[in-house]
Amino acid sequence: MGVFFKKGNWYIDYRLPNGRRIRQKIGSSKKLAENVLRKRKLEIAENKFLDIKKNPPIKFEDFAQEFLEIYSKPNKKSWESDFHHLKRLKSFFRGKFLYQITPKDIEEFKAIRVRQVKPATVNRELATLKTMFNKAVEWGKFQNSPAKNVKFLKEDNKRLRYLEREEIKRLIEACPPDLRPIVIIALNTGMRKGEILNLKWHNIDFKRGIIYLLDTKNGEKREVYMNDTVKRTLIRVRKHPDSPYVFCRKDGKPIKDIRKSFFTALKKAGIMNFRFHDLRHTFASQLVMNGVDLKTVQELMGHKDIRMTLRYSHLSADYKRRAVEVLDKRLDTFWTPEEEIKEAVKFVNSEVIDNKEVITREVAQSGLAHLNGVQGVAGSNPALPMLFDNVKT
């Protein structure tokens, strides 16, 4: 420890209890430098400098391993994700004590990683880091988390990949025999890949048409309803005599990885930029496009929060086009001249309907409602309800 002069300024030089050397510029006054050095010595003697007393010298990589073993593995089904995130974090923070890591260090990590991977990946790594520091504080190993006020990166979640009907057909046809039932079940139930691959025969009730999922992502039991396609598909799957798993290898162990065969099927079907999890998106999107309400979709998907389901409220271009055409039919009478509406009503009353034309209940009722507001004609012909019952809608 000491003071020294360099380029017009006095510096102090000392070491922390952990061996780290500190050199600090004080200014042009030697006396001030000596006073600051004495203060630093006193703080070190009292073991208070940089909260060393409150924050014991724990290496980042050591606590990361402790966090993985004590918290992640026992409490999280996705602990393997934490394992990979921590591996990346350790490569950046290795060798540092926890108390040495500052918010600036974490921002530097963000800046480097965002040039290498997508913002979503960086955010998952930051989330793991935040949780790790929170546990360090909770377990009394750390005073304040440096990651507390670090913000996540903005993610682009606007685009949601799903398959149109013709793409679904091509994909199923391109799948090899062992992959095809897995894909069909994913498309018709919205089940996750892990839920399908870990599915056991005793969890399937063919009589009631229900698949019971006891080990889901959010830890809650879920009932999945089977349509006829799913039932037929499962019945055709050959049952292994010594394995409880529906989809298993020759030795009876569950299939763990279908990535290669799925990628090959996508390539053969000419489908680009698509993941297996997008089959779940396809299930939800097709439900919405076929008129299923979002609350029902939420229950079928097993979402706790309706906000997770709202991302599936988008519709295909064809569906939007048909929706606009329906609106056109419903609102047409508002700007159609009254004489034309009267002629249309006469045409309906006369029961002269060309087989090539389809008159919907909504259009006829809209015309009559319009006239009712003008002259009180609507509802005057008791034969209309009977006629509507015979009209193909």
Per-residue pLDDT band at 272 (split at 50, 70, 90)? very high
Looking at residue 305, its amino acid is D
Lowest-confidence pick of 3-17, 312-326, 370-384: 370-384
Same domain, 197 and 297: yes
Same domain, 298 and 177: yes
The residues, ordered by sequence, that sit 6+ positions from 240 with a Cβ below 8 Å of its Cβ are: 248, 252
In a domain, 144, yes or no: no
- 131-169 burial, b at 16+ Cβ within 10 Å, e below that, comes to bbbbbbeeeebbeebbbeebeeeeeeeeeeebbeeebbe
What's the pLDDT at 108?
95
What's the pLDDT at 127?
95
The residues, ordered by sequence, that sit 6+ positions from 29 with a Cβ below 8 Å of its Cβ are: 10
How many CB atoms lie under 10 A from the CB of residue 329?
A: 12
Which domain does 239 fall in, by range? 165-310
Element (H, E) at 6: strand 2-6
Same domain, 218 and 236: yes
Same domain, 292 and 193: yes
Same domain, 127 and 169: no
Same domain, 42 and 67: no
- Return the structure tokens found at 117: 């991977």
In a domain, 263, yes or no: yes
- 73-100 burial, b at 16+ Cβ within 10 Å, e below that, comes to eeeeeeeeebeebbebbbebbeeebbbb
Average confidence (pLDDT) over 238-262: 93
pLDDT exceeds cutoff 70 at 364: no
Average confidence (pLDDT) over 95-121: 92
Same domain, 255 and 355: no
Q: Which of 76-85, 230-239, 351-360, 376-385 has the highest mean pLDDT?
A: 230-239
Q: Which of 242-246, 254-258, 300-304 has the highest mean pLDDT?
A: 242-246
Same domain, 299 and 186: yes
What's the pLDDT at 351?
46
pLDDT exceeds cutoff 90 at 367: no
Same domain, 199 and 75: no
More confident position, 43 or 387: 43
More confident position, 177 or 158: 177
In whole angstroms, give the CA distance from residue 86 to residue 129: 8
pLDDT exceeds cutoff 80 at 121: yes
Boundary-marking domain end, from 310, 338, 353: 310
More confident position, 19 or 345: 19
More confident position, 314 or 162: 162
What's the pLDDT at 326?
72
Each residue's pLDDT tens digit, 50-99: 554 556 789 999 999 999 999 999 988 788 899 999 999 999 999 999 98
Same domain, 303 and 354: no
Radius of gyration of the chain (CA): 34
In a domain, 226, yes or no: yes
In a domain, 151, yes or no: no
**Which residues are paired to 222 by β-bridges?**
213
Q: What CATH number has the domain bearing residue 260?
A: 1.10.443.10
Average pLDDT, the chain: 81
Number of domains the chain contains: 4
Same domain, 267 and 329: no
In whole angstroms, give the CA distance from residue 84 to residue 333: 62
Each residue's pLDDT tens digit, 168-218: 999 999 999 999 999 999 999 999 999 999 999 999 999 999 999 987 776
Same domain, 288 and 191: yes
What's the pLDDT at 331?
63
In whole angstroms, give the CA distance from residue 303 to residue 311: 12
- Given the DSSP bridges, would you call strands 21-27 and 2-6 parallel, antiparallel or unpaired? unpaired
In whole angstroms, give the CA distance from residue 93 to residue 99: 12
In a domain, 143, yes or no: no
Helix (H, G, I), strand (E, B) or coil at 318: helix
